Structure 1
């Protein structure tokens, strides 16, 4: 039996990020609403530094925008932006699979630990920890490719933040998320390159094809 590693924890900035994502997705924070660092710091009982970190991540994925001399504002959700991310991510992760699997560098033990962490988090209904374990799984495959340019391109997509948005918006079946990654792991273990690449593409395209409403919620 695979030993379950401790559930990953979020930094304070990322906890605030996810709290803001949830408020934007539910419509509590409306498009065009101004986000004031000092007020948010007061709401979350922290300094402005983690609030600033959270807003930077949200701006990087297009959920808020900073206007010179005016402040930071909630943007209208742009479904196409999220879809484009998953389309690009599918291509990058397929490329990583094509490099890592024939080279024999896929870290199967680490992937097993990631799936086990997802199952533990799912049993605890811990959506954030499921997201972090999912990101860790895919990052392990990316790193196994041994291509720094590919890794840089993947990281530039702000994977952790976008995964958080997707999970908060789509509200998926958490044990099902773990099952999807177990299926990916099982196919990688067979060594069937084309089957592994196909499933890798399908896994990301599933999220690319989710329709969303104006707040980003999956319909």
Structure 2
């Protein structure tokens, strides 16, 4: 099947070519570990995403080539390779900022995919393209700029800060109020936004994130 996620999960596992819509159709719970290096730099984000049963079942149907109702290693690798290539245009749904400036994310070396208890899981490590020294105000989060996919954290404890370089920093999980965000951005909610939500990056405003201040 070649229809579906290009708008949201960027063809995450099936490459569905559905138009971008301004509300989510796919749901995932995430866990992210924000890791510092020993040299005082931001080292990496370690991602785990668990997708909803409906989407996971659609991936199973698309990639279960031998129809045995499971995904064998070759099928899982095909899914992982597709995700790794497709999400490049969307910064791997990973956003990192320092003092308001975006930090570019490098292509992950490896994507690992599994299928457990009827749910698709993704594991990967995202690193900055250029060295990023810890300091000032930094934010770390996960979101789909097309708003087709909702990736969120069930608990604040699913956003984890690790490493001695963060010891002198304060940190908090921020969960924006959607009604407040909409009220504050009425001028931006034009027809163009609803036709192409990825074109304005407002999705970042709605995303749960970790804020670290040093």
Answer 1 or 2: which has greater strand percent.
Answer: 2
Q: TM-score range by the shorter chain?
A: under 0.3
TM-score under structure 1 length normalisation: 0.24
TM-score under structure 2 length normalisation: 0.25
Answer 1 or 2: which has greater helix percent.
Answer: 1
